[in-house]
Amino acid sequence: MAKLLSCVLGPRLYKIYRERDSERAPASVPETPTAVTAPHSSSWDTYYQPRALEKHADSILALVYFSTSYALSSFFFHFFQGLLLPVSNFFLALFPVLFLPGIGRWTNPQYRQFITILEATHRNQSSENKRQLANYNFDFRSWPVDFHWEEPSSRKESRGGPSRRGVALLRPEPLHRGTADTLLNRVKKLPCQITSYLVAHTLGRRMLYPGSVYLLQKALMPVLLQGQARLVEECNGRRAKLLACDGNEIDTMFMDRRGTAQPQGQKLVICCEGNAGFYEVGCISTPLEAGYSVLGWNHPGFAGSTGVPFPQNEANAMDVVVQFAIHRLGFQPQDIIIYAWSIGGFTATWAAMSYPDVSAVILDASFDDLVPLALKVMPDSWRGLVTRTVRQHLNLNNAEQLCRYLGPVLLIRRTKDEIITTTVPEDIMSNRGNDLLLKLLQHRYPRVMAEEGLQVVRQWLEASSQLEEASIYSRWEVEEDWCLSVLRSYQAEHGPDFPWSVGEDMSADGRRQLALFLARKHLHNFEATHCTPLPAQNFQMPWHL
């Protein structure tokens, strides 16, 4: 009877992976004696085949799930029409169906074996139990937590770490500076604040992160399962659940290349996906093909991760991912590269700002600030509401965070990007990646990026082809050896901390040369649209002195 109850209450099982003897990578948890023997099979992997009772009952429940929203929306109508009893009778008749999947699972030896391993792992997370549990793909809500945000001992002893409310974020300046914050002013602002809150938590969040919408995830489920199988089967991926400081559970996948002959396998690339991207099918493939160790994770509310993807939750998730990489996977910050695509630039720049010792940051098809892109897709009459809503609730201030990082940075600009341009894809100067580059260079090299330097970099950014870029570069006769010697001499004398005053006593031509040299080192063009996968040969480490 206990086993039957476990099957009734147990998670849905999607797929079974079979081991290939010693080729399976060991789990990264400490070993303890208790374990459960896993079944053996000559097949490498197979979709779980539910019995007829479980299969048909699941179909009925899925149909009921989608119809329930309509029934609930009509609840008060039915109530006032005296139809509450028929509606309650319908759900009462449906109640026995909830047990049918469990009965079907109980008659299935594959599911009984799975639930035995899952229960044993919850009781004792030994390396053997975790290894056997990794043979199954099931509802991630039932996966045991592998890493807790408070696990690093330094966090327990320090008062400067994240609290349960979340990690530190840069807060926007008030829209009306200098205004007295009196009670009357607060009352006047209240309707606008309520409207902004409602917009952000309904339409705004779903427009900004469509990957968090349930219907989209449901439609993508077969693709996500297939992508996850590829990572496990072909790349020996190891899945893990991380508990962030806000209570959200973060779904991650780690591919370890440290045991290969490729030297880049010693470096870990943490991938930050786009607003409809999942690690199962996202930008994770680029560093994998390039031979790096890779750690992918899903935004809060995406696939196996819980929560909703607001900036605070995003930063909380990124924090526990970095902590997991350092304290559980054993990578030093100097061996970690942060790689982001599109909206993932927010968590990438937050990590760079908060963990300044990371090796490098690579931002592909990212932007400087969300406000101009939000204004692009909304009516002009909503300008004030959109600006206020973004600043208060969805403030993705990538450039501001990136300027707090002192290490190597590479920006990849898509020359046909249709998403982060504010006009049309052909207008390359409206690409917000340009603004990200200019703000970074102006912060780091303010004397070089004065009027002459800024003007010549804008000309270079406006070039529509590699030939035109090279023409502008050669027109100003940029001497790269001279530029390097100037920058190295300044660094040796003044140290690496930005901003630098290099270029202060330099001629206009000298500033132009340095500005073009720095722009070319910090930004590479990729002739593609926003969603075109980045080839492995385009994944290059950022330039540094």
3-state secondary structure 142-160: HCCCCEECCCCHHHHHCCC
Of 474, 486, 478, which is closest to residue 445 (Cα–Cα)? 486
Chain centre to alpha carbon of residue 503: 38
The first and second tokens of residue 57, run together, are: 């009952």
Chain centre to alpha carbon of residue 515: 32
Res 390 pLDDT > 80: yes
* Average confidence (pLDDT) over 365-386: 96
Which pLDDT does position 161 carry in this prediction?
A: 65
CA distance 231 to 238: 8
Using a 10 angstrom Cβ sphere, with 0-12 exposed, 13-18 middle and 19 or more buried, the burial of residue 152 is middle
Query: Residues 198, 192: contact at Cβ < 8 Å?
Result: no
Which pLDDT does position 493 carry in this prediction?
A: 95
First-to-last C-alpha distance (Å) of the chain = 68
3 state DSSP class of 394? coil
Higher pLDDT, 401 or 153: 401
Res 485 pLDDT > 70: yes
Res 93 pLDDT > 70: no
Question: What digits encode the pLDDT tens for the residues 161-197?
Answer: 677 678 999 988 765 555 556 777 878 789 999 999 9
**305 included as an active-site residue:** no
Which pLDDT does position 107 carry in this prediction?
A: 86
* Average confidence (pLDDT) over 332-361: 98
Residues 6+ apart with CB under 8 A from 457: 437, 438, 441, 449, 515, 516, 519
Return the CATH architecture of domain 183-396: 3-Layer(aba) Sandwich (3.40)
Catalytic residue among 319, 364, 417, 435: 417
Higher pLDDT, 178 or 433: 433
pLDDT band with cut points at 50, 70 and 90 for residue 446:
very high
DSSP 34-98: ---PPP--SSSEEE----HHHHHHHHHHHHHHHHHHHHHHTHHHHHHTT-HHHHHHHHHHHGGGG
Which amino acid, residue 289?
E
Res 58 pLDDT > 70: no
Res 158 pLDDT > 60: no
Name which of 77-81, 407-411, 438-442 the model is least confident about: 77-81
Res 453 pLDDT > 60: yes
Res 461 pLDDT > 90: yes
Of 365, 452, 436, which is closest to residue 403 (Cα–Cα)? 436
Q: Phi-psi category of 11—alpha, beta or left, where left has phi over 0 and alpha has psi -120 to 50?
A: beta
**530 included as an active-site residue:** no
Strand partners, 362: 339, 410
Of 152, 158, 166, which is closest to residue 318 (Cα–Cα)? 166
The reported pTM is: 0.89
Q: What percent of the chain has pLDDT over 90?
A: 72
Question: What digits encode the pLDDT tens for the residues 276-319?
Answer: 999 999 999 999 999 999 999 999 999 999 999 999 999 999 99
Which pLDDT does position 45 carry in this prediction?
A: 45
Name which of 63-72, 193-202, 404-413, 491-500 the model is least confident about: 63-72
Catalytic residue among 465, 489, 494, 544: 494
Name which of 156-160, 348-352, 425-429, 442-446 the model is least confident about: 156-160
What is the pLDDT of the chain when averaged over all its residues? 87
Which pLDDT does position 183 carry in this prediction?
A: 77
pLDDT band with cut points at 50, 70 and 90 for residue 37:
very low
Which pLDDT does position 330 carry in this prediction?
A: 97
**C-alpha distances out from residue 376 to 111, 371, 430, 443, Å:** 51, 9, 11, 26
Res 139 pLDDT > 50: yes
* Average confidence (pLDDT) over 495-507: 95
CA distance 481 to 504: 19
Please report where in the chains the tokens 């449901």 appear, as a residue: 218
**544 included as an active-site residue:** no
Please report where in the chains the tokens 């639930």 appear, as a residue: 115
Res 62 pLDDT > 70: no
Name which of 73-77, 201-205, 233-237 the model is least confident about: 73-77
Question: What digits encode the pLDDT tens for the residues 9-36?
Answer: 899 999 998 664 444 443 333 333 344 4
Please state whether beta strands 336-341 and 268-272 pair in parallel, antiparallel, or not at all (unpaired).
parallel
pLDDT band with cut points at 50, 70 and 90 for residue 427:
very high
- Which strand ranges, in their side-by-side order, compose the sheet holding 13-17? 45-47, 13-17, 136-138
- CATH 3.40.50 in the chain is located at 183-396
Which pLDDT does position 73 carry in this prediction?
A: 47
Please state whether beta strands 249-255 and 238-243 pair in parallel, antiparallel, or not at all (unpaired).
antiparallel
Which pLDDT does position 106 carry in this prediction?
A: 85
Which pLDDT does position 182 carry in this prediction?
A: 76
Query: Residues 278, 220: contact at Cβ < 8 Å?
Result: yes
CA distance 168 to 148: 18
The first and second tokens of residue 449, run together, are: 């990026």
Name which of 11-20, 102-111, 254-263, 470-479 the model is least confident about: 11-20
The first and second tokens of residue 343, run together, are: 């909206």
Res 521 pLDDT > 80: yes
Which pLDDT does position 53 carry in this prediction?
A: 65
Res 222 pLDDT > 70: yes
Catalytic residue among 342, 354, 359, 366: 342
- DSSP code at position 166: B
Which pLDDT does position 100 carry in this prediction?
A: 73
Q: Do you know the residue count of the chain?
A: 545
